[in-house]
Structure 1
Amino acid sequence: MTALLDIEGELIARANDRFPAAVVRDELDNNLASELPTIQIEQVPGGGDDGLRLARHLIDINVYAATRAEAIALANSVHAWVTGELRGSTSDTAVIGLTGPLALPAPRPYENTGLRRVGATYQIYVHPVS
Structure 2
Amino acid sequence: MAAVGSVDIEVELIAWLGARLDGVVVRDELDNNLLDELPTVQVERLPGGGDDGIRLDRALVDIDVYAATRGEAAALAHTIRGLLMTQLRGSDTATAVFGRIDTLSAPASRPYENTGLRRIGATYSIYFHPVS
TM over 0.5: yes
Distance 2:82 2:100 in 1: 14
CA distance in 2, matches of 1:24, 1:3: 22
What SS does structure 2 have at the residue aligned with 1:85? helix
Question: In 2, are the aligned partners of 1:3 and 1:52 still within 8 Å (CA)?
Answer: no
Cα distance change of structure 1 residues 97 and 32 upon mapping to structure 2, 3 Å threshold = same
Matched length? 130
**Match 1:26 to one of 18, 28, 33:** 28
Structure 2 residue corresponding to 1:120, chosen from 92, 116, 122: 122
Question: Gaps spanning 5+ residues in structure 2: where?
Answer: none
Q: Output the amino acid matched with 1:30.
A: N
Q: Flag structure 1 segments of 5+ consecutive residues without an equivalent.
A: none
Letter in 2 for 1:76: H
Does structure 2 retain, via aligned residues, the 8 Å contact 1:82–1:100?
Answer: no
Indicate the residue corresponding to 2:110 in structure 1.
108
Q: Give the deviation of 1:2 after TM superposition.
A: 2.3
Q: 2:41 aligns with which of 39, 43, 48?
A: 39
Compute the TM-score of the two structures, normalised by the length of structure 2.
0.96
Point out 4+ residue stretches in structure 1 off by more than 3 angstroms: none
Q: Which residue of 1 aligns with 2:63?
A: 61
Q: In the alignment, what sits opposite 1:87?
A: 89
CA-based RMSD of the aligned residues comes to 0.9
The secondary structure found in structure 1 opposite 2:10 is helix
Percent identical among aligned pairs is 61
Instruction: Identify the match of residue 75 of structure 1 among 77, 91, 100.
Output: 77
Secondary structure of the equivalent of 2:113?
Answer: coil
